[in-house]
Amino acid sequence: MAEVSSPRAVDWTVLKAALGGAGVASMITAAAFGIDAQLHPSGGPLNFSGPPFVATVFLISLAIGATVSLISLSAAIAIFGGERLQAVNSPLAALIGAIAGLLLVWVAVGLALGDWRDFKTTAFGALYGACVAGFWSHLVRR
């Protein structure tokens, strides 16, 4: 009997997708924060600009984004099944990831802070969701 390989909720592909997708999204996030800091200097004793600030934003967003992405992607595979998710093409996977990331961050920020109109933070959730889902879809098709 031939053994069928079924994607598990957590495997190397999921880990690579979470780290790769979060890495790309973190670079975009750090660049956006760096540009915003240059356009709107904060002044005061803390210098929120320059390469150290961008590197700090990158590392923090990578740590948080990769962790949340790993949990979310693993949960999606466990709930819906890996074969079913593999059948989705990469652009559709990125769109589904963007919508899921947007909704997850919107609900989390809304419940945690009571701010249901924080659309900038939810846009970063969509960015992370799209990057991670797109990476995973691409990796499972190789």
Can you give the pTM of this predicted structure? 0.81
Give mean pLDDT, residues 99-126: 88
The conformation of residue 139, written as its DSSP 8-state character, comes to H
Indicate whether 2 pLDDT > 50.
no
Indicate whether 1 pLDDT > 70.
no
The predicted-structure confidence for 75-87, as pLDDT tens digits, reads as follows 888 888 888 888 8
d(CA 4, CA 52): 48
The predicted-structure confidence for 62-106, as pLDDT tens digits, reads as follows 999 999 888 888 888 888 888 888 888 889 999 999 999 999 888
Q: What values do phi and psi take at 48, rounded to 5?
A: -90, 60
Domain ranges of the chain: 12-141
